[in-house]
Amino acid sequence: MSSASRSSDLLGHFAHVDTLVEAITAAQANAYEVCDVYSPVPVEAAQALISPGRSPVRFVTFAGGLCGLVGGMGLAIITSLIWNLVVAGKPITAVVPFMVVGFEATILIGAISTLLGMLIFAQLPYRRFPTPAYRASFSRDRFGLWLRCAPEQVEAVQRLLEEAGAEKVEVLSIAQGGRS
Amino acid sequence: MKHAQLFADVLAMRDKVHSPRDKSVSLALGLCGAIGLLLAFAGGSPGAGWLALLVATTMTIGVAAVGVVFAAIFHITAARWGRPFQRFAEAGVALMPLGLICLLALVLGGHAWLPWLQVDHLTGGKHAWLVRGFWDVRVLLTLVCTYALSLTFVYYAWRRDFCLGEVRAAFTGRLGAWLGRGITDAEREMARCTRRLDVLAPAVIIVYALAFSFLAFDLIMALEPDWYSTLFGAWYFISHLFVGLAAIVLITTVLWRRLSLERFVSMPRQRDLATLLFAFCLVHMDFFWSQFLTIWYAHLPEFTFYLIDRTLDPALPYHHLTWPALAAFFFIPFGTLLFRRVKSSRLLLSAVAIIAISGVLLARFIEAAPALLTLDSPSVTGLFLPLAATALVALGVIGVAIPLYQRLLTSIPLMPLSDEVFLATQTHEEHP
Amino acid sequence: MSTHHPQLGALSYGQVDHDILATLGRPSRAYLAILVFCFGLVCIGAVSYYHLLTKGMGVTGLNNPVGWGSFITNFVFWVGIGHAGTLISAILFLLRVPWRTAIFRAAEAATVFAVCTAGLYPLIHVGRVWVAYYMIPFPTGRELWPNFRSPLVWDLIAISTYLTVSAVFFYVGLIPDIAAARDRAKPGPRQFILKLLSLGWLGSIRQWKHYMGAYVLFAALATPLVISVHSVVSWDFAMSVIPGWHTTIFAPYFVAGAILSGLAMVMTILIPLRRVFKVEHIIRPYHLESMAKLLLVTSLIVGYAYFIEIFIAWYSGNPFEIAIFKYRATGEYAAIFWLMVICNAVVPLLFFKKSIRTNILALFIISIVVNFGMWFERYNIIVSSLAHDFFPTAWGIYEMTPVEWGIMLGAFGLFFLLFLTFVRILPSISIAEVKESMPHPLRGRKR
């Protein structure tokens, strides 16, 4: 949570991706804090500026998949040792058919882990919805750039956003400087 | 003129195909092949010689055809990523004469190695199907027809490029003259070629699948006349798709610096190729597993003997090779191609490709060896000579293939210059 | 991630939003009539099932030797239907195929509902559904555990995995669209529910980053499921020794057949849907033609499998294999066999002709023909092999009884009821992905 009381928040509404990216670049160049960017579609150029690098969800998936494989094979092997079903001339602990169980368990636990990883890293469910800067148009056809600056910099930031191509610039009144 | 620089770059590539070392590499590999054959035939183990020739032939005839299959798939799907690799895949037709000669040698020498000739009474349709004469003609004709169709496809694919004046001016050799003959209205001829390709592309794929299924039954499955598997044909032709893709990876790696391929293949496209190799590794393993699991589970002696001889029986040495083969064609490619680092490194990718190809070769060896070799001892030392002969003959085939392949590469434009999809990928912002 | 789709370039984000969300408007009388009809079918199924529960499995045609009949046929049929959705959502996503974007949501929904429908059948088939939980591996306190060597237990795990992963993939894909519907909804209970379901989705850059990272991983995990689940289902048959069942080609053959039937069902659904919802400019003939090509490929694979099975039966000389194929072609179920071959391997060949691939009526009719054909295929494989295995003294005939027909109608009714309900509650075309497949709005371009 950033310092609250002596900062101002502005929201730029953009209709185009290139103007949005231009605004983000300019904001970062001037060391203004980019609180968040809203978009109806993923924008790789903006993501490269705000949050470069790959999502770590894949590590959670890998760990989950591994647990699934070990768990699935383990379940089949251990239960076969506890309950010795002697059938059809096959070994009691038959690794060959158990591979199918292990494989499916890998996918199942891997997928559930991926879901959990995504929810955790994307902070979903987002309890503080809607944020002060979120607007309904951001899920339709507009992009939003939420900047924070010192009160004396508001005009400069407003100018920066307008020059970059913002359709509209709102100065937000946020009581305690809440952030996304 | 649009694409002028692109055309100039592509046409200039032909002069960079050869390198001074190529000849000596080919000679050395070719010599390996000759040594391999000598070792086996003169070393008192003709079975090992025929085994080496059979394994090399089955791989060569497949790799020669599969490049055109990939080109046909690219055509039908309008796949953008595959276009820079298309000509390298199509040029695999250079191996067709080699494949035909090897197959002819096997057919002419059939009396010496075909195990089903020793069987008194073949059950079922086999007594009509596995008959010398019919078998000989069928095997050769299947391959010739498949190759003829593939060559027709590449004729139209390349002729479409030769509709461009710059290409006709640059390639004036015999092949170029033949491909470019009689072109008066370039646009009309290009449209005609495209229409032909639209019809030929699905035909190439269908004929490949059927032809190589039957070649698998005739050349490999029939080695154990009492055994059969409905999936065997598909397993065989999928393995060629896998090996063919690995070969494309290897070829582009070897030629990368020579031909400055980074101009045409961006890093994301290279990773796409690696991802596709990963996918085929999985499909290949799935087809192996479908056969193995079904046979293991039902436990019927008329099927299990085949697997037991090759994977389990301690009285035979083949079980020593099972895990290495599985590791080479599945575990290693699967485990390594998961990682972006491997997909982004051409060196690591080519290492994986070599391992995968070796794994499939070893799998062919294991399939064929128990029927063709008579080994007295379960010790793995008995396999040294056959394995060495097979490896050397495979290297020999590569040695002979290199100059044939390179010669063809210098006779055609190395990128599909008449292909709208290719041109779109080159002008689009694809390169980081 | 997705490739830009030139044909959508003329639309704007706002228009896409509007057109797709408009499909969630007030339903027409015709829609309500069809919904009631489907509900009626479900009631028939429920009454039939109640009759079966109270009278026992004897009200079905199941007996010696045919112990697996319509229930297993329908089970395999519905699981197969589900595969096209996962193929289109996951595999075509990874391959970055452009025509996927407008149709995958409906296909995915069909998957989830098809797998739900399929999952009912093993429960119906076991008879004593009140002890069906015996199949679940949990500590019973009696040291009893399922037999993990059995393909039926593999089925349990594979189908549950498939249902879970498909449902999760489906829901995750819906989150941005639910957010779009939430933001357009009037305050009230509907908006409240959408707010809950959207999980507070903001579309922030960081959320998109983790969302897209996870989406690729879901697609990568769902891809092997497309192959493995129907392979496991095929192994219910292939792991036996029954002639006509025990053959190595079953796994890829069933997977190709599943995709064939799934694509046919998706086409059967999409063609009326695009007309009724007036989204013909979003789900274009191009999408349907692309599906038709894929359907043709899978039909060729299925045709290959039919041919190779018969060839190998002849080649092998196995008298039981030869007998079963002769029986299928000439015995009591011959009509089903020939209908199967014609509907699955011959009729789709018409798609080689572009004029047929691009004719909407032809596409609709052929998709229905293939749906029938694939049902006949399952019936043919399952029933004919059991009716005519090794010993002539053990041969017997099976016929579906009215109870089984009733349950089957109920299952079809349930699938369409679920699907029709879905298309009125949630967007049946992916808003976010259709927008993503359009060129980004850039300054100076008229929108």
Domains and CATH numbers, chain C: 6-136+148-437 (1.20.1630.10)
**Distance, in angstroms, between B129 CA and closest chain A CA?**
35
Does residue A180 lie in a domain region?
A: no
**Is the CB of C315 less than 8 angstroms away from the CB of B124?**
yes
Provide the mean pLDDT of chain A. 90
Angle at C304 between CA C303 and CA C306, to 5 degrees: 65
Show residues of chain A in contact with B292, CB under 8 Å: 96
Show residues of chain A in contact with C148, CB under 8 Å: 75-76, 79-80, 97-98, 101
User: Which site among B293, B304, B330, B339 would you substitute to test the A interface, given the most A Cβ atoms closer than 10 Å to its Cβ?
Assistant: B293
With tokens 């949501």, the residue in question is: C105
Give how far Cα C434 sits from Cα of B134, C87, C102, C430, Å: 57, 18, 6, 6
What CA–CA distance (Å, rounded) separates B17 from B402? 11
**Distance, in angstroms, between B236 CA and closest chain C CA?**
13
**Is the CB of C300 less than 8 angstroms away from the CB of B294?**
no
User: Which site among B194, B227, B294, B430 would you substitute to test the C interface, given the most C Cβ atoms closer than 10 Å to its Cβ?
Assistant: B294
The pLDDT-based confidence of B432 (bands split at 50, 70, 90) is very low
Three-class secondary structure of residue B250 per DSSP: helix
Per-residue pLDDT, A2 = 47
User: What is the identity of the amino acid at C60?
Assistant: T
What CA–CA distance (Å, rounded) separates B389 from B40? 6
The pLDDT-based confidence of B404 (bands split at 50, 70, 90) is very high
β-partners of residue A149 are: A8
Residues C167 and C109 sit within 8 Å (Cβ to Cβ): no
**Is the CB of C238 less than 8 angstroms away from the CB of B233?**
no
**Is the CB of C199 less than 8 angstroms away from the CB of A114?**
no
Per-residue pLDDT, C342 = 98
Per-residue pLDDT, B430 = 46
Any idea which of B8-22, C24-38, C89-103, C433-447 has the lowest mean pLDDT? C433-447
Element (H, E) at B351: helix B346-372
Domain count, chain A: 2
Percent of chain B with pLDDT over 70: 98
Does residue A126 lie in a domain region?
A: no
Nearest to B199 by CA among B72, B67, B70: B72
Is residue C403 predicted with pLDDT exceeding 70? yes
**Distance, in angstroms, between A51 CA and closest chain C CA?**
7
Three-class secondary structure of residue A10 per DSSP: strand
Nearest to B92 by CA among B57, B58, B68: B68
Per-residue pLDDT, C447 = 44
**Is the CB of C317 less than 8 angstroms away from the CB of B126?**
yes
Q: Are residues A98 and A135 in the same domain?
A: no
pLDDT digits (tens, 9 = 90+) for B328-363: 999 999 999 999 999 999 999 999 999 999 999 999
Nearest to B94 by CA among B64, B66, B69, B71: B64
Q: Are residues A112 and A146 in the same domain?
A: no
Q: Tell me the backbone φ, ψ of residue B3, rounded to 5 degrees.
A: 60, 20
Three-class secondary structure of residue A13 per DSSP: strand
**Is the CB of C238 less than 8 angstroms away from the CB of B294?**
yes
Show residues of chain C in contact with A62, CB under 8 Å: none
Q: What is the pTM of this model?
A: 0.93
Angle at C377 between CA C371 and CA C381, to 5 degrees: 160
Residues B56 and B102 sit within 8 Å (Cβ to Cβ): yes
Q: Which of B206, B217, B297 lies nearest to residue C300, judging by beta carbons?
A: B206
β-partners of residue A148 are: A9, A33
pLDDT digits (tens, 9 = 90+) for A78-100: 999 998 888 767 898 999 999 99
Nearest to A107 by CA among B282, C114, B340: B282
Q: Tell me the backbone φ, ψ of residue A8, rounded to 5 degrees.
A: -120, 150
Show residues of chain B in contact with A110, CB under 8 Å: none
Per-residue pLDDT, B103 = 97
**Is the CB of C148 less than 8 angstroms away from the CB of A80?**
yes
User: Which site among B195, B290, B296, B425 would you substitute to test the C interface, given the most C Cβ atoms closer than 10 Å to its Cβ?
Assistant: B290
Is residue A41 predicted with pLDDT exceeding 60? yes
**Is the CB of B229 less than 8 angstroms away from the CB of C248?**
yes
The pLDDT-based confidence of A130 (bands split at 50, 70, 90) is confident
The pLDDT-based confidence of B377 (bands split at 50, 70, 90) is confident
The pLDDT-based confidence of B266 (bands split at 50, 70, 90) is confident
Per-residue pLDDT, C6 = 45
Can you tell me the mean pLDDT for C129-156?
91
Residues A43 and A18 sit within 8 Å (Cβ to Cβ): no
- B20: tokens are 């001074």
Residues C234 and C83 sit within 8 Å (Cβ to Cβ): no
Per-residue pLDDT, B294 = 97
What CA–CA distance (Å, rounded) separates A112 from A107? 9
Query: Environment class of residue C347 by beta-carbon count within 10 Å: exposed (0-12), middle (13-18) or buried (19+)?
Result: middle
End-to-end Cα separation, chain A, in angstroms: 9
What CA–CA distance (Å, rounded) separates C386 from C244? 9
Per-residue pLDDT, A90 = 87
Domain that holds residue A104: 57-121
Q: Are residues A37 and A78 in the same domain?
A: no
**Is the CB of B228 less than 8 angstroms away from the CB of C315?**
yes
Q: Are residues A66 and A110 in the same domain?
A: yes
Would you tell me which residues 125-154 of chain A have a C-beta closer than 8 angstroms to some C-beta of chain C? Answer: 125-131, 134, 136, 138-141
**Is the CB of C352 less than 8 angstroms away from the CB of B294?**
no
**Is the CB of C214 less than 8 angstroms away from the CB of A128?**
no
Does residue A3 lie in a domain region?
A: no
Would you tell me which residues 61-80 of chain A have a C-beta closer than 8 angstroms to some C-beta of chain C? Answer: 61, 65, 72, 75-76, 79-80
Nearest CA in chain A to C436: A41
What CA–CA distance (Å, rounded) separates B359 from B365? 10
Residues C169 and C89 sit within 8 Å (Cβ to Cβ): yes
Per-residue pLDDT, C365 = 97
Q: CB atoms < 10 A from the CB of C197, how many? A: 18
Per-residue pLDDT, A128 = 79
Per-residue pLDDT, C347 = 98
Residues B60 and B95 sit within 8 Å (Cβ to Cβ): yes
Show residues of chain A in contact with B296, CB under 8 Å: 96
Provide the mean pLDDT of chain C. 93
Nearest to C299 by CA among C377, C406, C416, C391: C377
Instruction: Report the neighbours of C using a cutoff of 3 or more CB pairs below 8 angstroms.
Output: A, B
Between C266 and B3, the more confident residue is C266
Does residue A14 lie in a domain region?
A: yes
pLDDT digits (tens, 9 = 90+) for B3-14: 888 888 898 898
Q: Peptide bond preceding A130: is omega within 30 degrees of 0, i.e. cis?
A: yes
**Is the CB of B293 less than 8 angstroms away from the CB of A88?**
no
The pLDDT-based confidence of A5 (bands split at 50, 70, 90) is low
What CA–CA distance (Å, rounded) separates C212 from B308? 47
Instruction: Report the neighbours of B using a cutoff of 3 or more CB pairs below 8 angstroms.
Output: A, C
**Is the CB of A54 less than 8 angstroms away from the CB of C213?**
yes
Contacts of C193 (CB under 8 A, 6+ apart): none
What CA–CA distance (Å, rounded) separates B22 from B410? 14
What CA–CA distance (Å, rounded) separates C237 from B26? 51
Is residue B2 predicted with pLDDT exceeding 80? no
Element (H, E) at A172: strand A168-172
Per-residue pLDDT, B382 = 86
The pLDDT-based confidence of A138 (bands split at 50, 70, 90) is very high
pLDDT digits (tens, 9 = 90+) for B194-213: 999 999 999 999 999 999 99
**Is the CB of A54 less than 8 angstroms away from the CB of C183?**
no
Residues B311 and B318 sit within 8 Å (Cβ to Cβ): yes
**Is the CB of B300 less than 8 angstroms away from the CB of C246?**
yes
What CA–CA distance (Å, rounded) separates B11 from B8? 5
User: Which site among A59, A96, A99, A100 would you substitute to test the B interface, given the most B Cβ atoms closer than 10 Å to its Cβ?
Assistant: A96
Supply the DSSP string of C323-364, one letter for each residue. HHHHHHHHSTTHHHHHHHHIIIIIGGGGGGSHHHHT-HHHHH
Percent of chain B with pLDDT over 90: 79
What CA–CA distance (Å, rounded) separates C79 from C415? 12
- B368: tokens are 């064929």
Nearest to B420 by CA among B90, B91, B160: B160
Does residue A32 lie in a domain region?
A: yes
Supply the DSSP string of A73-130, one letter for each residue. HHHHHHHHHHS----TT--SS-HHHHHHHHHHHHHHHHHHHHHHHHHHHTT-S-TTPS
End-to-end Cα separation, chain C, in angstroms: 23
What CA–CA distance (Å, rounded) separates B404 from A122? 55
What CA–CA distance (Å, rounded) separates B274 from B160? 29
Per-residue pLDDT, C72 = 97
Nearest to A59 by CA among A123, A120, A114: A114
Q: Between helices C319-330 and C285-316, what is the axis angle to 10°? A: 130
Does residue A68 lie in a domain region?
A: yes
Does residue A145 lie in a domain region?
A: yes
Does residue A136 lie in a domain region?
A: yes
Q: Are residues A24 and A39 in the same domain?
A: yes
**Is the CB of B234 less than 8 angstroms away from the CB of C322?**
no
Angle at A160 between CA A157 and CA A165, to 5 degrees: 130
The pLDDT-based confidence of C8 (bands split at 50, 70, 90) is low
* Sheet of A33-38, strand order: A33-38, A143-149, A8-14, A168-172
Provide the mean pLDDT of chain B. 93
- C346: tokens are 């011959």
Per-residue pLDDT, B154 = 97
Per-residue pLDDT, C444 = 63
**Distance, in angstroms, between C112 CA and closest chain B CA?**
25
Three-class secondary structure of residue B370 per DSSP: helix
**Distance, in angstroms, between B41 CA and closest chain C CA?**
33
Chain B to chain C Cβ contacts (< 8 Å): 87
Residues C248 and B229 sit within 8 Å (Cβ to Cβ): yes
Show residues of chain A in contact with C206, CB under 8 Å: 36, 50-51, 122-123
- C110: tokens are 């069909």
Residues C59 and C52 sit within 8 Å (Cβ to Cβ): yes
Can you tell me the mean pLDDT for B116-141?
93
Show residues of chain A in contact with B299, CB under 8 Å: 88-90
B202-207 long-range contacts, CB within 8 A, separation 24+: B202/B72, B202/B76, B202/C352, B203/B149, B204/B68, B204/B69, B204/B72, B204/B149, B204/B150, B204/B153, B205/B69, B205/B72, B205/B73, B205/B76, B206/C300, B207/B145, B207/B146, B207/B149
Nearest CA in chain A to C161: A108
With tokens 């063919």, the residue in question is: B244
Instruction: Report the neighbours of A using a cutoff of 3 or more CB pairs below 8 angstroms.
Output: B, C
What CA–CA distance (Å, rounded) separates A28 from A116? 32
Contacts of C44 (CB under 8 A, 6+ apart): C406, C409, C410, C413
User: Which site among C5, C210, C442 would you substitute to test the A interface, given the most A Cβ atoms closer than 10 Å to its Cβ?
Assistant: C210
**Is the CB of C247 less than 8 angstroms away from the CB of B294?**
yes
What CA–CA distance (Å, rounded) separates B52 from A41? 57
Per-residue pLDDT, C9 = 56
